[in-house]
Amino acid sequence: MSAYNRHMYIERDLTSRLSSSTAPVQLLIGPRQCGKSTLLSHIAGSSTQEVTFDDLQLRTLANRDPALFLEQFKPPVLLDEVQYVPNLFSEIKRQVDQLKKQRLQDNQPLSVLFRMTGSNQLLMDKNIKESLAGRASYFYLNTLTVHEITQAIEQANIGDILFKGGWPELYIDQQLSPAQYLNDYIRSYIEKDIVLSAGVQKQDDFNLILGLLAARTGTLLDYSSLAKNSGVKAVTVKEWIGLLQHTALVYRLKPYANNLNKRLTKTPKLYFLDTGLATRLQGWQDQTPLITSPQAGALFETLVFAEIFKFIQNHGKDWQLYLWRTKEYEEIDFMIVTNSGDVIALDAKMSMQSVQPAKLPANFKKMFPKTKQLVIVTFGGQQLRLSNECFALPIAELHDFLIGC
């Protein structure tokens, strides 16, 4: 691939679900710069007008006179960053209802009229969801998965993905500095957009907590330790982590709970949903020392978690994802319960030297006797059976494995 290819398009796993949706309004939610408008534009085609509300003039018009705005930008239309135009939604609701009624009278099928993106979940919740109840389909997109990157870029390697994360622009323009790009992202999106809209008063303390969380991605979440190391009250730390989860930057993975089994722990783990953001907040400038650092294992576990989490979202799976851990320190990194009740057990192992035949913990087998194997997700290598109840699976093949489950 050339250093910069503005025409390159990275196919997204969400495409088929979006393409098959016929709701009059499609709303695609996710962090800024993860590829939302590019995906919708690709699906909609060249015949659909596109409007971005980062344009202050258009934003002002849409809020001041929604009817006039929609007179100029008739559906089908793609509206980008719609959280900034709350006054527009009552008019969209009116037009959708009117068009639905007309098409029913004409016995015509209803097509997608408005495709929208939104990156600030806080403002979206305040301004939009209630207005479009029953008229919109909601979809969630995060940064690129390992599967999406490796399908698009033949020479992509996992070390590069671990360091850069899944930000599309870093793969389209190879000359971009990941450190500079993510520094700008942290300043423009996290420190301004999220912090200001949430009304966080102590931005320096918030940034300190963000850095501490990045250093602890892939580890058990200890609010009191974070509070002690930052000087921020534990209740505030918990509130800020909730804010970061609500904006799809981190995720608290809950442990599997069973009231009949007192051996199970109740402490969640925290993961960043993009390893590039975590490595930048940890201060890494290059992938080479990162790969051999003490943090590499937890970052790889974070990458595996993100791959599973995004798979579930992208494919609309009604699956539950847990950590499984006992007070005796028996642990399964990721336990998936499918909608049919099947249980999939996965561990993340970055070091190929540590990928040895392993057994499902005895207590796990007692609780889930139908689960016959432990899947060890590895940094590289090939799919390989290690024992009767354990096989190694490269992370690049994890998506296809889950498709078959």
Domains of the chain: 15-140 (3.40.50.300), 146-403 (3.40.1350.70)
Cβ neighbour number for residue 312 with a 10 Å cutoff: 15
Q: What is the CA radius of gyration of the chain?
A: 22
pLDDT for residue 262 is more than 90 = no
Q: Which residue has the tokens 């890494």?
A: 284
Q: Are 183 and 308 in contact (CB under 8 A)?
A: no
Q: Are 274 and 217 in contact (CB under 8 A)?
A: no
Contacts of 217 (CB under 8 A, 6+ apart): 250, 270, 271, 272, 278, 298, 299, 302
Instruction: Kindly report, residue by residue over 70-119, the tens digit of the pLDDT.
Output: 999 999 999 999 999 999 999 999 999 998 888 888 888 778 899 999 98
Rounded CA gap, 33 and 188, in Å? 11
Rounded CA gap, 31 and 165, in Å? 13
Q: What pTM was estimated for this model as a whole?
A: 0.95
Helix (H) or strand (E) holding 325: strand 320-325
The backbone torsions φ and ψ at residue 250, rounded to the nearest 5 degrees and listed phi first, read: -135, 170
Total residues belonging to the chain: 405
Parallel/antiparallel/unpaired status of strands 320-325 and 331-337: antiparallel
Beta strands in 131-249 (DSSP E): 136-140, 219-220
Instruction: Kindly report, residue by residue over 306-352, the tens digit of the pLDDT.
Output: 999 999 999 999 999 999 999 999 999 999 999 999 999 999 999 76
Rounded CA gap, 361 and 383, in Å? 22
Rounded CA gap, 405 and 397, in Å? 13
Instruction: Kindly report, residue by residue over 300-314, the tens digit of the pLDDT.
Output: 999 999 999 999 999
Q: Is 278 helix (H, G, I), strand (E, B) or coil?
A: helix
Helix (H) or strand (E) holding 400: helix 398-403
Place 354 in a pLDDT band, splitting at 50, 70 and 90: low
Per-residue tokens: 123: 């403002």
pLDDT for residue 259 is more than 80 = no
Q: What number is the average pLDDT over the span 178-205? A: 88
Cβ neighbour number for residue 359 with a 10 Å cutoff: 12
Residue percentage of the chain with pLDDT more than 90 = 78
